């Protein structure tokens, strides 16, 4: 699955829209990918990976759906117990704005947070204060839906979709209000102290998905990309607003791309329709004004995409669009489309799932160099997960136990690439419908899935089969351990446990001190038989918790 259903991540939209009703079919088409057979690395006597003891590894980001806004305190307590470093919070523009459903813009100072209804801010204030009190970070995504009055007026789509040609200037004014409120110096009316400062931001959400930014292309008329031009304007507006309010040295992420693409039957080649889903690298090429050959566009091909038409204009492009070149990093939602995390979607060279992130990095570097920039964006994963069966039996969903192994494998691959700065989990509980985006660690009713243990305490063996007497690498993490160490002022340790065969008792074969800032470890371990390995950790004052079980084969 490349992108969750929008209704799972944003407040319910008050108007039913044809585009939203069509989205489940689009989603099903995207995720209907053949799932490769489950398996780990098991090549006999494969080269043993070298240990990298100094690697810090990615921080953990958790992305929530509506559960966070419905129960901020309870949800933040759950995430704290899981050891989450940072929470990716979607702030809805229309959820804050006054008269969001009106086509007529209300008269108010859109840059002043006091001019917005207090009720719109209340939940976000609770979340920001709650994260600060728990010493957890925030990634505040300045996201759609768009107020109707900030859409292009007169569009035939303005009663079907919130996010049609949003007014970039209005967006910048809203961002300025948000940034002022969370500057660390703003005390809301009636409050006794200023709100905590937010210093980590994401600009928009999945701009290559027409549900969040439309049109992608003009369906049935042209394959000219439109959404990248719109997003360029949104980035410029947000960048200027954040810098104007004292947030210029903050972490500011651009991108937030969905990884896949899907056009409609009968569409022109490259036409992803008004509300379609454009592949990430195609979106990037249009965003940075280059063609398929990664050369700068000129003439009508350039002007149709809002790009400079000649070399003189291209020479000014980087200075005129500083957010595209000076952002702190690039955010991607690298869902692997139901495939193992090391496999890219076949015949889709413009997708940006986890296995394609090295290509994404190369493309971003190339685009920067083209305009004389030496920026090498870090990559931040800000949504990730596997749709599981059960409860979802649609194409692209995978068995829960397979998902647990894939999640740990994916985190290991993330940890291996020092340029990837975060590992993300999307959803803690599944949505209420079985055919929804069931990437949660628990069922809708709160029952733990196997993926909960896999997330809390990852375990992965890059090579799981060898000859007797040869060591294997055991990699893992105890995500809550750093918090436990900080609270008790004592170094935490994890037990590597093993049992021969598939039954009997597990016995501890090695204790590993957890000194990594995120709770990661990587060690060699020799096993004396074919069997199973797991991790055991006892939190201070609590009962032992365990990882998933991984197989070991000796020849």
Task: Round to whole Å and give the CA distance between 437 and 385.
Answer: 9
29 CB-contact burial (10 Å; exposed 0-12 / middle 13-18 / buried 19+): middle
pLDDT digits (tens, 9 = 90+) for 153-205: 755 555 555 688 999 999 999 999 999 999 999 999 999 999 999 999 999 99
Give the rounded percent of residues in the chain with a pLDDT score beyond 90: 79
Domain boundaries, position 80: 6-22+57-456
Task: Round to whole Å and give the CA distance between 108 and 150.
Answer: 13
pLDDT digits (tens, 9 = 90+) for 471-480: 999 999 999 9
Domain count, the chain: 2
Task: Round to whole Å and give the CA distance between 73 and 130.
Answer: 7
What is the arithmetic mean of pLDDT over 71-90?
97
The pLDDT assigned to 396 comes to 83
What is the arithmetic mean of pLDDT over 478-495?
97
How many other CB atoms are there within 10 angstroms of residue 39's CB atom?
A: 11
247 and 216 both lie in a single domain: yes
Domain boundary among 437, 456, 475: 456
The pLDDT assigned to 53 comes to 78
Q: Chain-wide mean pLDDT for the chain? A: 89
pLDDT digits (tens, 9 = 90+) for 400-441: 999 999 999 999 999 999 999 999 999 999 999 988 999 999
Domain boundary among 428, 456, 484: 456
508 and 367 both lie in a single domain: no
Tell whether 52 is covered by a domain. Answer: no
**Does the pTM exceed 0.85?**
yes
The pLDDT assigned to 311 comes to 95
Domain boundary among 414, 430, 456: 456
Place of tokens 């890059």: 462
The answer on pLDDT for 13 being more than 50 is no
494 and 449 both lie in a single domain: no
427 and 517 both lie in a single domain: no
The answer on pLDDT for 16 being more than 80 is no
438 and 481 both lie in a single domain: no
Higher pLDDT, 34 or 367: 367
The pLDDT assigned to 174 comes to 98
244 and 388 both lie in a single domain: yes
Tokens encoding 132 = 């600060």
Task: Round to whole Å and give the CA distance between 314 and 370.
Answer: 10
Asked if residue 480 lies in contact with residue 58, where contact means CB atoms within 8 angstroms, the answer is no
424 and 495 both lie in a single domain: no
pLDDT digits (tens, 9 = 90+) for 320-363: 999 999 999 999 999 998 999 999 999 999 999 999 999 999 99
Tell whether 30 is covered by a domain. Answer: no
217 and 353 both lie in a single domain: yes
The pLDDT assigned to 22 comes to 34
The pLDDT assigned to 221 comes to 62
Q: What is the CATH number of the domain that holds 217?
A: 3.20.20.80
The pLDDT assigned to 218 comes to 76
436 and 494 both lie in a single domain: no
517 and 440 both lie in a single domain: no
């Amino acid at each position: 699955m490349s992108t969750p259903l929008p209704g799972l991540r944003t407040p319910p939209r008050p108007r039913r829209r044809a585009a939203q009703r069509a989205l489940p079919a689009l989603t099903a088409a995207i995720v209907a990918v053949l799932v490769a057979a489950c398996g780990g690395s098991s090549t006999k006597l494969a080269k043993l990976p070298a240990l990298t003891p100094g690697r810090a590894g990615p921080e953990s980001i958790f992305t929530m759906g509506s559960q966070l806004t419905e129960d901020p305190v309870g949800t933040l307590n759950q995430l704290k117990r899981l050891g989450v470093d940072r929470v990716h919070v979607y702030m809805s523009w229309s959820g804050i704005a006054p008269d969001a459903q009106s086509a007529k813009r209300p008269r108010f100072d859109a840059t002043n947070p006091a001019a917005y209804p207090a009720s719109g801010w209340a939940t976000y204030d609770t979340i920001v204060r709650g994260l600060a009190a728990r010493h957890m970070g925030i990634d505040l995504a300045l996201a759609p839906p768009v107020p109707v009055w900030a859409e292009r007026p007169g569009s035939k789509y303005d009663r079907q979709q919130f996010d049609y040609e949003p007014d970039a200037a209005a967006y910048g004014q809203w961002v300025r209000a948000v940034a002022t409120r969370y500057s660390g110096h703003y005390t809301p009316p009636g409050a006794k102290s200023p709100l905590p400062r937010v210093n980590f931001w994401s600009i928009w959400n999945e701009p290559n998905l027409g549900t969040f930014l439309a049109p992608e292309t003009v369906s049935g008329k042209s394959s000219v990309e439109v959404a990248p031009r719109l997003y360029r304007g949104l980035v410029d507006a947000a960048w200027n607003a954040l810098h104007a309010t004292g947030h210029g040295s903050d972490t500011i992420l651009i991108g937030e791309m969905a990884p896949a693409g899907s056009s409609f039957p009968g569409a022109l080649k490259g036409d992803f329709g008004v509300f379609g889903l454009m592949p990430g690298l195609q979106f990037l090429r249009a965003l940075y004004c280059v063609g398929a050959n990664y050369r700068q566009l000129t003439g009508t091909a350039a002007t149709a995409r809002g790009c400079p038409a000649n070399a003189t204009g291209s020479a000014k492009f980087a200075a005129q669009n500083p957010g595209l070149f000076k952002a702190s990093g690039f955010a991607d939602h690298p869902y692997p489309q139901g495939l193992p995390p090391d496999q890219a979607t076949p015949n889709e060279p413009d997708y940006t799932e986890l296995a394609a992130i090295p290509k994404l990095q190369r493309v971003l570097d190339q685009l920067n160099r083209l305009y004389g920039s030496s920026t090498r964006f870090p990559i931040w994963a800000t949504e990730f997960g596997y749709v599981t069966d059960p409860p979802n039996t649609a194409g692209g969903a995978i068995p829960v136990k397979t998902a647990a192994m894939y999640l740990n494998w994916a985190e290991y691959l993330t940890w291996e690439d020092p340029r990837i700065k975060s590992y993300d989990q999307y959803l803690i509980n599944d949505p209420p419908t079985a055919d929804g985006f069931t990437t949660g660690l628990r069922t809708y009713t709160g029952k733990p899935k196997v993926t909960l243990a896999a997330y809390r305490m990852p375990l992965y063996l890059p090579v799981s089969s060898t000859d007797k007497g040869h060591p294997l690498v055991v990699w893992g993490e105890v995500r809550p351990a750093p918090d436990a160490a900080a609270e008790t002022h004592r170094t935490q340790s994890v037990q590597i446990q093993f049992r021969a065969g598939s039954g009997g008792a597990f016995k501890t074969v090695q204790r590993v001190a957890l000194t990594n800032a995120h709770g990661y470890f990587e060690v060699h371990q020799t096993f004396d038989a074919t069997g199973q390995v797991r991790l055991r950790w006892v939190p201070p004052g609590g009962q032992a918790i365990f990882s998933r079980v991984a197989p070991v084969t000796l020849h």
